[in-house]
Amino acid sequence: MSEVKNYSADLQKLFVQFMMTDPQLFTRIMGIVDDRHFDREVREVVKYIISYSNEYQSMPTVEMIKAETGQVIEILDNIEQHSDWFIDEFETFCRHKAIERAIVNSADLLEEGRYGEVETTIKDAVQIGLTRSLGTDYFDDPRKRLEHLKDNNGQITTGWKDLDNKLYGGINRGEVTIFAGGSGSGKSLFMQNLCLNWAQMGMNVVYVTLELSEELSAMRIDAMVTDRSTRRIFKELDDVELQVKTVGKKSGMLRIKYLSSGSTINDIRSYLKELQIVTGKTVDCVCVDYLDLVMPITKKVSPSDLFIKDKYVTEEMRNFSMETQTIFVTASQLNRSAVEEIEFDHSHIAGGISKIQTADNVIGIFTSNAMRERGQYQLQLLKTRSSSGVGSKINLVFDRDSLRISDSDLDDDDLAVGTQDSQTSKVMDTLKRKSTITGSNDTSSAIPPEKSESAINLRAMVKSKKSNPFDDN
- For the segment 270-298, what is each residue's pLDDT rounded down to a tens digit? 888 888 888 999 899 999 988 888 888 76
Closest listed residue to residue 343, CA positions, set 317, 377, 305, 382: 382
Can you give the pLDDT at residue 450? 43
Is the pLDDT confidence value at 165 over 80?
A: yes
Can you give the pLDDT at residue 368? 67
Chain centre distance of CA 148:
24
CB 303 within 8 A of CB 346: no
Distance CA 388, CA 385 (A): 8
Can you give the pLDDT at residue 245? 92
SS3 170: coil
Can you give the pLDDT at residue 444? 38
- For the segment 191-245, what is each residue's pLDDT rounded down to a tens digit? 999 999 999 999 999 999 998 888 899 999 999 999 988 888 888 899 999 999 9
- For the segment 22-47, what is each residue's pLDDT rounded down to a tens digit? 998 998 888 899 999 999 989 999 99
Can you give the pLDDT at residue 288? 94
Distance CA 364, CA 344 (A): 7
Mind listing the domains of the chain with CATH numbers? Answer: 9-126 (1.10.860), 150-410 (3.40.50.300), 417-465 (no CATH)
Distance CA 292, CA 331 (A): 8
Banded model confidence at residue 115, pLDDT cuts 50, 70, 90: confident
SS3 209: strand
Q: What is residue 334's DSSP assignment?
A: B
